[in-house]
Amino acid sequence: MALKQSRGIVYLVGAGPGDPGLLTVRGEDLLGRADVVVYDYLANPELLSYCAAAEKIYVGKKAAEHSMGQEQINQLLVDLAKQNKRVVRLKGGDPFVFGRGGEEAEALVAAKIPFEVVPGITAAIAAPAYAGIPVTHRDFNSSFTLITGHEKEEEYKDAASRAREQAEGSSDLDWSVIAKLPCVAFYMGVKSLPRICAKLIENGKSPDTPAATIQWGTRTRQRTCVATLKDLPEKVIEQKISAPAITIVGKVVTMRESINWFETRPLFGQTIVVTRTRQQASELSVKLQELGANVIEAPTIELQAPSDWQKIDDALGISVAATPASPLGKKGDAGSPPMSTWDPAATKQLQWDWVIFTSANGVRYTRDRLRAVGRDVRVFGDAKIAAIGDATAAAIQKELSLHVDLCPESFVAEALANALAERGQIAGKRFLLLRADIARTILREKLQVGGAAEVRDVAIYETKSATALPQVLLDALAENRINWITFTSSSTAKNFVSLLGGDYREKLKHIKLASIGPITTTTLRELGLEPATEAEVFNIDGLIAAISKPVE
Ligand code: SAH
């Protein structure tokens, strides 16, 4: 009987403690190539973006009704591998630190399934680190011990673990030994904290020993309660700290006073909504997160390629008829560049004096169009290039490798018109504006009034409103958890309120609004909303600076 070659394999991957940046490079690579990902409650779901194409199976202990026992999880891993799948078993922290990864590995060995283990950063190291507590320090301790809370919290307890506890006796902790250790981290110990602290004190540990409990360590929702051993249980209840949390007991806890770096970042603990398009959100989101904010992305606008390329092609002097068998004009499909499409006879070089881009998206859609028809920036001939906004200018340099001749310091259309006027560059000149379909008409008007010989204003991409706001945003709104909403354009402001519904002013009553500049502010005011802050420099960094500044 010929045995079929199996490619089924299981990777036990540590997801790290929560901050998605703390996944290992190996973990990310394996997620990207997985057929199926079996993940836990403690593995940050954001990591699933690395495995968009994979099947995802949630086996978290918090899935109230369908909570899967360890035996079932073991069997699931075996079954999936037997179906020739590349399986990533994604577990919070490190798979072998109180993660029952050892049991899963045993099951795989028994079933003769190949497997690999990818360690992760465990909570007892990472959560204190993010709370400003180094787990060892030469002055305080030369050992550091990881202990699991004696009584497992209900949410992590399944029938199998209860049976095991009954069979083996649940206490294998010798408190007389533990009380002598200089630095100890307790996993799964929030509910049993009163007992842990009492046992330590009973066994000779000083009641004044510094101790801290850190909830959701390394995430933007991290909270830390610092106390002494005798006060900790009460303070943890007072501060409503619950699982998942790590408790660390030892003198190193005092170091937090000087090295508490994470929770002191300017926007730590603030929940901030980003209303930009998905394509544009990440720069703002990442920068806000780096300052400590918890970001909710609620795109109010979606971008799409123009439904008709004719005007654009005419303006760029592209003759599409001369470009055979390419995915031309297809919505949102830039396609791969067709070869040999250059037909000088069919191509007329249009001599623009100025080509103006008003957004990075406009630059990218232009690049994609040129590629799709097998052309390049030579369609611009000798035209000078202008940009509104430094992000637009950066995109022109990066995506088109073109030098930007003019980018006024103030990032609005009026400033560009003024800058051109000052240089005597409007009268008699020919302008091509490559912009969004909803762009303001002021630039065109100013150029026309200034005596331009021609102003060709074409929409290089189209925008459409999102149809709904994401559930995470609606939940946060209902629970009063939002501190700021950022608006980076008039259209995002208008769309956001229309998606919120008629009572939007009531819903936004207690939330601070941040505007990227005067045009957006005017729109907000027209909507009856007063921004708490407006950027001084009308770009993303300016907006972030405005939010980080204390509001008077
Ligand atoms: N394998 C995991 C631990 C799983 S046991 C690891 O190596 O980290 C689950 C316990 O881990 C929780 O009860 C809590 O005590 C701790 N834990 C996991 N993630 C945590 C986090 N982000 N912050 C604080 N504690 C965490």
Predicted local confidence at residue 343, as pLDDT: 53
Residue of 19, 40, 94, 187 with the most ligand 1 atoms within 8 Å of its CB, for mutation: 187
Predicted local confidence at residue 350, as pLDDT: 67
Predicted local confidence at residue 164, as pLDDT: 62
Rounded Cα distance between 92 and 98, Å, is: 10
pLDDT (mean) for 300-328: 77
pLDDT exceeds 90 at position 200 = yes
pLDDT tens-digit series, residues 480-506:
999 999 999 998 999 999 999 989 999
Q: In this structure, how many other beta carbons lie within 10 angstroms of the beta carbon of residue 286?
A: 10
- Cis peptide leading into 550, omega within 30 of 0? no
> If residue 228 lies in a helix (H) or strand (E), which one and from where to where?
strand 223-228
Q: Which of the four pLDDT bands, split at 50, 70 and 90, describes residue 46?
A: confident
Query: How many whole angstroms from 276 Cα to the centroid of ligand 1?
Result: 34
pLDDT exceeds 50 at position 325 = no
Predicted local confidence at residue 92, as pLDDT: 96
Q: Tell me whether strands 294-297 and 9-14 are parallel, antiparallel or unpaired.
A: unpaired
Q: Is 528 left (phi over 0), alpha (psi -120 to 50) or beta?
A: left
pLDDT tens-digit series, residues 383-442:
999 999 898 999 999 999 999 999 998 878 889 999 999 999 999 999 999 998 887 889
Residue of 94, 156, 246, 248 with the most ligand 1 atoms within 8 Å of its CB, for mutation: 246
The tokens describing 470, both together, are: 């994401």
pLDDT exceeds 50 at position 457 = yes
383 DSSP 8-state letter: -
Rounded Cα distance between 171 and 380, Å, is: 77
Query: How many whole angstroms from 223 Cα to the centroid of ligand 1?
Result: 14
φ, ψ (nearest 5 deg) of residue 184: -130, 135
Instruction: Clarify whether 40 is annotated catalytic.
Output: yes
Alpha-carbon Rg for the chain, nearest whole angstrom, is 29
Least confident of 316-330, 340-354, 520-534: 316-330
Residue nearest to atom 20 of ligand 1 (CA): 123
pLDDT tens-digit series, residues 345-389:
555 556 899 999 999 999 999 999 999 999 999 999 999 999 998
Given 19, 40, 353, 457, the catalytic residue: 40
Task: Write out the DSSP string of 87-129.
Answer: EEEEESB-TTSSS-HHHHHHHHHHTT--EEEE----HHHHHHH
pLDDT (mean) for 71-80: 96
Q: Which of the four pLDDT bands, split at 50, 70 and 90, describes residue 335?
A: very low
Higher-scoring residue by pLDDT: 198, 303: 198
Rounded Cα distance between 262 and 18, Å, is: 14
pLDDT exceeds 80 at position 264 = yes
Predicted local confidence at residue 153, as pLDDT: 43
Rounded Cα distance between 551 and 515, Å, is: 13
Q: Which of the four pLDDT bands, split at 50, 70 and 90, describes residue 265?
A: very high
Predicted local confidence at residue 171, as pLDDT: 53
Residue nearest to atom 13 of ligand 1 (CA): 188
Least confident of 80-94, 296-310, 522-536: 296-310
Query: How many whole angstroms from 203 Cα to the centroid of ligand 1?
Result: 26
Residue of 98, 154, 262 with the most ligand 1 atoms within 8 Å of its CB, for mutation: 98
Q: Which of the four pLDDT bands, split at 50, 70 and 90, describes residue 162?
A: low
**Ligand 1 interacting residues, C-beta cut-off 6 A:** 17-18, 42, 91-94, 97-99, 122-123, 127, 187-188, 214, 216-218, 243-246
Given 61, 384, 429, 446, the catalytic residue: 61
Atom of ligand 1 nearest to the CA of 153: 13
Predicted local confidence at residue 146, as pLDDT: 97
pLDDT tens-digit series, residues 178-194:
999 999 999 998 999 99
Atom of ligand 1 nearest to the CA of 94: 7
pLDDT tens-digit series, residues 467-478:
999 998 999 999
Atom of ligand 1 nearest to the CA of 149: 15
Rounded Cα distance between 233 and 213, Å, is: 9
Rounded Cα distance between 202 and 199, Å, is: 5
Query: How many whole angstroms from 16 Cα to the centroid of ligand 1?
Result: 9
pLDDT (mean) for 209-219: 97
Higher-scoring residue by pLDDT: 175, 439: 175
Task: Write out the DSSP string of 44-75.
Answer: -GGGGGGGTTSEEEE--TT-GGGPPPHHHHHH
pLDDT exceeds 80 at position 219 = yes
Query: How many whole angstroms from 218 Cα to the centroid of ligand 1?
Result: 11
pLDDT (mean) for 140-161: 72
Query: How many whole angstroms from 245 Cα to the centroid of ligand 1?
Result: 6
Instruction: Clarify whether 91 is annotated catalytic.
Output: no
Atom of ligand 1 nearest to the CA of 186: 15
Predicted local confidence at residue 334, as pLDDT: 46
Predicted local confidence at residue 82, as pLDDT: 97
- Contact status, residue 74 vs residue 82, Cβ threshold 8 Å: no
Least confident of 15-24, 30-39, 56-65, 488-497: 56-65
Atom of ligand 1 nearest to the CA of 17: 22
pLDDT exceeds 90 at position 67 = no
Query: How many whole angstroms from 93 Cα to the centroid of ligand 1?
Result: 6
pLDDT exceeds 80 at position 31 = yes
